[in-house]
Amino acid sequence: MILGVNVDHVATVREARKTFEPDPVMAATLAILGGANGITVHLREDRRHIHDRDLKMLRDVVHCELNLEMAATEEMVRIARDIKPDMVTLVPEKRQELTTEGGLNVTGQKEHLKETIKRIHDSGIPVSLFINPHIMDVDISKEINADMIEIHTGLYANVKGKKQEDELHRVMEAVKIGNNLGLLVNAGHGLTYFNVKRIAAIEGIRGLYIGHSIISRAVLVGIERAVREMKKLIVA
């Protein structure tokens, strides 16, 4: 099972002050030292967190899997073809959303996604589609030549009890069908230290893509040392 760490939230803190720190590129190298098998960033149209400079620098320093999440737009395809990440994950994108709210509408955008995948493939880059755990979406992903799918675990993460069991089974079913169709199957979104184990235990999942929970924990487990180091500088 591989772990891809999403460092967008490091850039979100940086953008709160529009300064140079914390740097998502530095965070990425430390995440790799911690055992991350890959680094993910979402370059949004509005550049609200990750900037083009981050992506360029990450391409230089990330020698494991660099996963570029992006909308299926002309501008993003051009950037992907130029930067050449190790993989692209196509995601839906709305300006108003706080984070990616659901999987792609693969039915409604079938032809557009197929053409986008083809153009990314022309540059030799494998493509993953971020989809809801719906059987039809898995089938369409295969039909339009995706190499991989990432099953959206957001709903599983946000409900409890019987509803969570139901969601877990939907994810398991989507994984099984994806595997049977010969797709590589990943999962992600909303996974935390408390809910990840049951998803990680699903047979046939290649990797998990996790951001918010890891960066949140990093803020807390690292704060003691950060304060100690500042204190040392200011106390004679």
- Which residues are identified as catalytic? 42, 69, 189
Instruction: Tell whether residue 212 is a contact of ligand PXP (CB under 6 A).
Output: yes
Instruction: Tell whether residue 131 is a contact of ligand PXP (CB under 6 A).
Output: no
Please name which of 94, 132, 131 lies closest in space to residue 113, comparing C-alpha atoms. Answer: 131
Cβ closest to ligand PXP, residue 97 vs residue 227: 97
Instruction: Tell whether residue 210 is a contact of ligand PXP (CB under 6 A).
Output: yes
Region for residue 190 given its phi and psi (left: phi exceeds 0; alpha: psi -120 to 50; beta: otherwise): left
Instruction: Tell whether residue 189 is a contact of ligand PXP (CB under 6 A).
Output: yes
Gap between the Cα atoms of 138 and 100, Å rounded: 19
Indicate which single residue of 28, 72, 79, 91 sits in contact with ligand PXP (rule: CB under 6 A): 91
Indicate which single residue of 146, 202, 211, 218 sits in contact with ligand PXP (rule: CB under 6 A): 211
The structure tokens 């660099």 sit at 66
Indicate which single residue of 24, 178, 190, 207 sits in contact with ligand PXP (rule: CB under 6 A): 190
Cβ closest to ligand PXP, residue 153 vs residue 236: 153
Nearest-approach distance from CB 218 to ligand PXP, in angstroms: 13
Nearest-approach distance from CB 90 to ligand PXP, in angstroms: 9
8-17 vs 24-33: helix crossing angle, rounded to 10: 150
Binding site for ligand PXP (CB under 6 A): 6, 8, 42, 69, 89, 91, 99-100, 130, 150, 188-191, 209-213
